[in-house]
């Protein structure tokens, strides 16, 4: 699972990527546990409460009916529009070009919504759609050890680096110059991403496939708001 609101990870003097990531993970530990607990409670209620089960089944029907379009719409709203509005309303987090940031967020997270939808469908086909312990662990391992660090997190970090560099391809290429661009750009976001998303994806993979994308979008919305502090603690060198 990609970090829904990574920043460029450009390091402040005296900070290493691991130090930045660990500090962010520690700062987000308590609220992250709250979110994970809320997600686990939703899963428990889905299986134990007939009323809540019926409510989520309506969401599952929408997901099944509209497929990838529904997934894209969820991501556009919860990971694109909501964080952009939050940044626009908080003086210390306002970006230079708020309308450009809103357009970027909507386009990018729509694209990632399609990616995640296809990835979850692939996982269900390869490992199965049931929510057994072995299946959940296999899906979590594939997500956290392959999909996230080698695909989703790097392309998301680069996209947000481009945004941080005022949408300049030239400045972005300079930041990506070797050596160590992955270490500098991706790791500061990947480390707290692991600490939050490893337990979180275990929770969401415990739901039926049709409910995994809505749960991921909601978790990603709150996680993205918490991760805004990464931008504040990693100024450009």
Higher pLDDT, 64 or 32: 64
Predicted confidence (pLDDT) per residue in 168-216, tens digit = 999 999 888 887 888 888 888 788 778 888 888 999 999 999 999 999 9
Contact 24, 230 (CB under 8 A): yes
- 3-class secondary structure, 160: helix
Predicted confidence (pLDDT) per residue in 13-29, tens digit = 456 766 666 776 666 66
Domain ranges of the chain: 17-233
Q: Is residue 179 reached through a cis peptide bond, with omega within 30 degrees of 0 on the bond before it?
A: yes
Distance of CA 168 to the CA centre of its chain: 24
DSSP 184: I
Position 31 scores a pLDDT of 66
Report how far residue 229's alpha carbon sits from residue 232's, in angstroms, rounded to the nearest whole number. 5
Position 197 scores a pLDDT of 84
**CA-wise closest residue to 135 among 146, 120, 147:** 120
Predicted confidence (pLDDT) per residue in 100-123, tens digit = 889 999 999 999 999 999 999 999
Contact 166, 97 (CB under 8 A): yes
Question: Dihedral through CA 51, CA 57, CA 58, CA 61, nearest 10?
Answer: -170
């Amino acid at each position: 699972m990609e970090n829904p609101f990574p920043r460029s990870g450009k390091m402040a003097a005296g900070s290493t990527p691991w130090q930045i990531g660990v500090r962010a993970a520690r700062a987000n530990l308590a609220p992250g546990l709250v979110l994970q607990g809320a997600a686990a409670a939703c899963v428990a209620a889905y299986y134990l409460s007939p009323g809540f089960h019926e409510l989520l089944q309506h969401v599952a029907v929408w997901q099944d009916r509209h497929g990838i379009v529904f997934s894209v719409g969820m991501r556009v709203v919860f990971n694109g529009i909501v964080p952009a509005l939050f940044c626009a309303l908080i003086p210390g987090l306002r970006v230079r070009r708020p309308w450009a940031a809103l357009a970027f967020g909507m386009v990018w997270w729509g694209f990632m919504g399609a990616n995640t939808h296809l990835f979850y469908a692939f996982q269900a086909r390869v490992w199965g759609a049931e929510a057994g312990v072995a299946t959940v662990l296999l899906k979590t391992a594939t997500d956290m050890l392959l999909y996230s660090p080698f695909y989703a997190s790097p392309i998301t970090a680069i996209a947000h680096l481009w945004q941080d560099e005022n949408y300049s391809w030239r400045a972005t290429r300079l930041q990506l110059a070797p050596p160590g661009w992955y270490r500098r750009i991706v790791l500061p976001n990947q480390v707290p991403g692991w600490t939050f998303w490893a337990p979180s994806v275990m929770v969401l993979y415990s739901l039926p496939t049709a409910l995994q994308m809505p749960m991921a979008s909601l978790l990603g919305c709150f996680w993205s708001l918490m991760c805004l502090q990464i931008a504040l603690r990693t100024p450009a060198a």
